[in-house]
Amino acid sequence: MHRPLAQKGAHSEAFGRSRGGFTSKIHARCDNQGRPLGFVLTGGQVSDYKATDVLMKLPVPNPRAMLADRAYDSDRFRQELLIHGILPVIPSRKGRKAPQQTDWKRYRDRNRIERMFNRLKQMRRTATRYDKTALSFMSFLNLAAARLWIRSFVNVT
């Protein structure tokens, strides 16, 4: 049975089955220095580009280019980015009939996003998700993000 607004149980808390087991996915938007700007939490079985609408509506300035991995490759998402004046730097999926051009020089900068996730997951609580509620987990993610932001404002020697 489909519950459109009032979901209960694991789905409302962003848990879902994936190949890795009962997990959740963290979708993030970050700046060009690899500092997180906002998060979206979904179940493990949810496709990556389902979270793009919420990520793009975050109250932060629009970037000139959006760097993302193959999971975010969809015609609708690319079109949405171009409408807003954002250059999509997303490699095509392997099975795509008409592959899109990718600026591989710009795409190399995506490692900043991967390093941001690595720093977030160094905090055990984010890597393992012991929290039962999505609100509690998102709150800790925001605290971890604040810690990453503070690093860039404090002179660490």
Q: What is the pLDDT of residue 95?
A: 85
Domain ranges of the chain: 14-119
pTM of the predicted protein model: 0.79
The token duo for 35 is: 């500092």
Report whether 10 contacts 21 (CB < 8 A). Answer: no
Calculate the CA 111 to chain-centre distance.
Answer: 14
Task: Return contacts of 5-10, CB within 8 angstroms, 24+ apart.
Answer: 10/43
Distance CA 17, CA 99 (A): 30
In tens digits, the chain (157 residues) has pLDDT values of: 344 444 555 556 666 666 666 678 888 999 989 999 999 888 877 777 778 888 888 899 889 999 998 888 888 889 999 999 999 999 998 888 888 888 999 999 999 999 999 999 898 877 787 777 888 888 999 999 999 999 888 876 6
Q: Which residue has the tokens 């996730």?
A: 117
